[in-house]
Structure 1
Amino acid sequence: MSARGRGTPALVLAVWLAAGGAGAAAGQAAADAWVLRGTVLGGGRPMAVLEAPDGRQRRLHVGEAAAPGVRLVAVARDHAVIETPAGRRVVRFGERLDAGSAETRTVPIRLALRAAAAVPDLLAGGALLPHQRDGRPAGFYVNRLPPGSPLAALGLRPGDVIVAVGGTPVSAATDGWALYRELRGRDRIELELARAGRAHRIGYRLVR
């Protein structure tokens, strides 16, 4: 089990919410109130240690709800994946996430497929670089964008760090091919970035 003490900077379960909607507003308040303190991977179903608004810590198994609209869906050694009214969010230890910024785009699915298929070549050519946090893989750093790059057409910029796609952390060239296969059956997907030191999310509506 890995856990953080009360003096450690908290990782707030912040959510990106679409504008409007009482249910979304309730999900925002519920998610912001919980803090990720630790993870438990052994002995059956994985669990996350979450601190409630009253300061008490609870252990939640994968699939259990922390609050209405806020559910634990996956746990790893250094992060958890939380389902919120706005979609899935990757939350990690050691940093405080604010609500960040967000945008939405409508793009042809063929453009998203081109971008996913290009990841191995972009890594091999140095346009994307493996990014690490505390010595562990933590996404892709956008070093440069070649002319005509599908990543530029999707709104990425040099200096961005691609953290997760569709709520799944990315860290290896093979993740591009896994994303390619997944995209073929999707009509929406969210990209999580670190941009200029802040969380930034791009939600895509994929059209055929």
Structure 2
Amino acid sequence: MRFAREQFAFGGRRLPAVALGDALWWALAATIAVLAAVLLWVAVTPVSPLGAWRPAGVRVMSPAARSALFAGFDPFNRTNAMKPAASAETVTPLALTLYGVRVNAATGGGSAIIAGADGIQRVYKVGAEVMPGVILAEVHFDHVGLSHGGSNELLYLDQSKPAVSAATALASTPAGPVGQTAPASAGASGTLTADAVRQGISFQPRVENGKVAGLAVSAGGDGGAFRAAGFQPGDVIVSIGGKPVAGEGSQAELAAQLRPGQAVSVMVKRNGQQLPLALTLSR
């Protein structure tokens, strides 16, 4: 019965065992060939359909775009939005003159010495009103920003005149003969002249704790120039043009600025208080 079933299943002939082993071998060989072809295709086929794949380059912002980005926000103080910077072309048309600045980089504040149309120099802190409707908004190393009627305007230091060295200033200030005192006068018309200041006012370094802390001011001659300049007995100059007096060279710097037609701004310590004073010299 068993033999009859096998004969019926294979059409009357029994399949040899050797032929079945060959079939399995060829099947495995074909499978390996197909897998090898797939592996070769994966190795040589380009990644992208276009066949020209390149890594994406780094996108770098232009300097102008970076400046605009960093000017739009403060990464260290995100609670307060930064004000847009004033354009370099918006120079104030007001009759104001900037003589000195003091920048506080730690707090972002500072102060400036500004004179109006009358020529009188005054010290203003950031946020103070320079004139009606004009607020000192920012202080930089060579200019200040003003808020005028809701718009931002710039006021620059006058750098058209070269600085005078201390040696030139001392050479241009002749010393009088020993024992001779030239009469100090504020001028026949009552105006203050450079010669009257040199001859009628004495500026001597004041030393505190071994350091020069200012220039002591004293009257000479008849005291006319001393009074015309606005000084009082006991005054001590602690800063010249916004620069603190910190050494003996400050005396030469002050002498260099005493020229006809100049306006010298000084900070005077009087009775424990610091007061701004302007020395406007006539021509």
TM-score scaled by length of structure 2: 0.33
Higher relative contact order (CA closer than 8 Å, sequence separation 6+): 1
Relative to total residues, which structure has the larger helix share, 1 or 2? 2
| Larger-gyration structure (1/2) | 2
Identify the structure with the greater strand proportion: 1
Give the TM-score of the pair, scaled to structure 1.
0.42
